[in-house]
Amino acid sequence: MDIRTVDTTPFDDQKPGTSGLRKKVAVFQQPHYLENFIQSIFDCVEEPRGKTLVLGGDGRFHNRAAIQTIIKMAAAAGFGRLMVGQGGILSTPAASAVIRKYRALGGIILSASHNPGGPGGDFGIKFNIGNGGPAPEKDTEAFFRRSRQLNQYRIADVPDVDLERVGETPLGDLVLQVIDPVADYAELMEALFDFGRINSMFEAGMLDIRFDAMHAVTGPYACEILEKRLGAKPGSVMNGVPREDFGGGHPDPNLAHARELVGIMNGGAGAPHFGAASDGDGDRNMVLGQRFFVTPSDSLAVMAANAHRLPGYRMGLAGVARSMPTSQAVDRVAERLGIECYETPTGWKFFGNLLDAKKVTMCGEESFGTGSDHVREKDGLWAVLFWLNLLAIRNESVESIVRAHWRAFGRNYYSRHDYEGVDGARAGELVEDLRDKLAGLPGKRLGEREVRYADDFAYTDPVDGSVTEHQGVRIGFQDGARIIFRLSGTGTEGATLRLYVERYEPDPAGHDQETQEALKELIQIAENLSELRERTGRSGPTVIT
């Protein structure tokens, strides 16, 4: 096998964000761009010679071409085994599961998650370490530093590989193993949940579901697990065939982008009992009942409160963790259970140390992500199976379960307002001006509320002591209400400015308000304080969840 050393020059924009390096497809298609970033990773990881690497993606445009390049570079780098999902497909949680099961050095996941696909869409690369989780910041910083110095990369001169045939192919010292992308993940799910009990509900006709795969990576997983193994009726999985452009849709499982599913679930008495959707790479989830939306924050809290009922979690939870902008609903569950609740920055990588140290068992983010210690990624289909198992155990509707939870713990009214594609300079100035105001806010009245604290959230990792700063502007009031401003790191165009608003209502008599109405005063306070609409030039949010 011949190995070529190719001269190159550095790119100055290969700094990974919250979830890896994300750019427009056209950027990755530039000569040497993909190769430079992959070589930067290979130059920084542990000695690869003889080690196992996992590779796959969400099937979006450019996935197959990128995989062929990475296979050749992995052969040149000296890896001993490369495990690739059949057809180049491997969901993000499944990739984490495979890395962990086979004790790989790590894995490369090709995805831009919930961002649109197609030739004019987005593409992304993320490296996951040996625990199955996203590379921590010290590693991604090392990748970026190396990318700024790189002047050569190495690639094997071998033909493209057949990605459709499961089996092994030798490429010099590398064994390329094309694997069934679903098998190992499905086996793990069967170990965590009572498939027999869920199947009984389907067989008895007591459970009708719709799962919207959004023409993304979870289609094959959902068809195999939900329809074939659990017995959901054919057609329960919608949009189940992955497409390079996600069927022209936006694979983000929320009320705005999963409109077809939302319409079905709001369809009256004949609507399915349970609805769910997942995103481009399979790590996010949205849960719906009949005419009832479960916020991701409430979903995490309900799951934590009921985990002991499910086979994989009968020993209870060691602790829970949530990202800072996620509502405090799960905090109340943790207090009742007598376990720790950790508040981290946004980004699943921050949960990794807590999970590895066995400080937490379950974690979640308000951006439609929940997971547990079974992998080191959020996991959309896992969350769906958790809810299905809970429905089979409690034999109640989704709405009944959530309302019972509110009666027991109180309701955290919560909403996120996204201002997408905002001019980056304007968004940055808005946040900086808010930071300048923080010191003067405690004790001040905003509207009818008194500010208790105001800060720029910083996190000290309780495991390794690392400090992460500037993670979002928080303003908390004496009654526990909060408003939060944060710039998101998952987009590829402009900036996404997010406003999070939350207030707690302990009285069941106050649990039936419409969410935006219940939060109206806080939203007005936030907009006035930040001059949000004037400074972004927007009349309102792009998306409300």
**Residues belonging to the active site:** 113
Q: How far apart are CA 330 and CA 366, in angstroms?
A: 11
Listing from the earlier edge strand, what are the strands of the sheet with 237-238?
237-238, 209-212, 274-278, 285-289, 292-294
Q: How far apart are CA 221 and CA 108, in angstroms?
A: 20
SS percent in the chain: helix, strand, coil, step 5: 35, 25, 35
The tokens describing 400, both together, are 């009944």
Closest CA to 457 of 319, 344, 311: 344
The tokens describing 534, both together, are 């004037």
Residue 253 DSSP symbol = -
Q: Which residues contact 281 (CB under 8 A, 6 or more apart)?
A: 57, 58, 91, 92, 109, 111, 113, 216, 217
Q: Degrees (nearest 5) of the Cα angle 163, 164, 169?
A: 55
Half-sphere exposure of 266 (CA within 13 A, CB side): 8
Residue 98 in contact with residue 54, Cβ under 8 Å? yes
DSSP E strand stretches across 58-198: 81-89, 106-110, 122-128, 152-157, 167-171, 174-179
Q: Which residues contact 40 (CB under 8 A, 6 or more apart)?
A: 14, 143, 144, 146, 147, 150
